[in-house]
Structure 1
Amino acid sequence: MAGGWARDGAVQDQIDASVEDAVKLARSRLSAGESLTNCEECDTVIPDARRKAIPGIRFCVACQSALEERQTKSNGINRRGSKDSQLR
């Protein structure tokens, strides 16, 4: 049931679009190709186990953690203005 001027299912459409955007973002951040032997950022050796576990890896654990920390902090814009995203 929609309220006000919104049509039925509008809230679910916003939720679905938000989930699709998150999936696209996650897929775009996945590495592909051959893994590097040394970290792209600090040039430390990336262990064989990490290179085999994550194909296309480019960073050591420390640099990858720092990168992910920066990416999550800058994701504060609520483009759609949905109440669902405002509650997070």
Structure 2
Amino acid sequence: MATGWAGDGAVQDQIDATVNDAVSRARRQLKNGPGLLRCEECDAKIPEARRKAVPGVRLCVTCQETHDEEASAGLYNRRGSKDSQLR
């Protein structure tokens, strides 16, 4: 289906380009290189398997879980949830 002056696949091409740009941006933000041998917060040893699995790792699993919980704590809007609207 052609719309205006756009070619037949123009909309899908734009969607693909947007997704590819987002993926490229996310990949650039990933840490790389060798990870730390010890956690930068609690100084616990970071296992070799974790260092291989997560390039550029800086935290042990325990500290990373705590960091992730704190980062996501403010993302949930209780007022906007479906449960709170049903009460």
Name the structure, 1 or 2, with higher relative contact order (CA <8 Å, separation 6+): 1
Runs of 4 or more consecutive aligned structure 1 residues displaced over 6 Å after TM superposition: none
1:56 partnered with 2:56? yes
Q: Select the structure of larger CA radius of gyration.
A: 2
With normalisation by structure 2, the TM-score equals 0.54
Alignment of 1:1-88 (within 5 A): 1-40=1-40, 43-45=41-43, 47-48=46-47, 49-59=49-59, 60-61=63-64, 62-64=66-68, 66=70
Task: Work out the number of aligned pairs and report it.
Answer: 69
Aligned identity (percent) is: 51
Gap runs ≥5 in structure 1: 73-88
Deviations 1:1-35 (A, max 9, x none): 22234332111111111121121022112221111
Which has the larger share of helix?
A: 2
With normalisation by structure 1, the TM-score equals 0.53
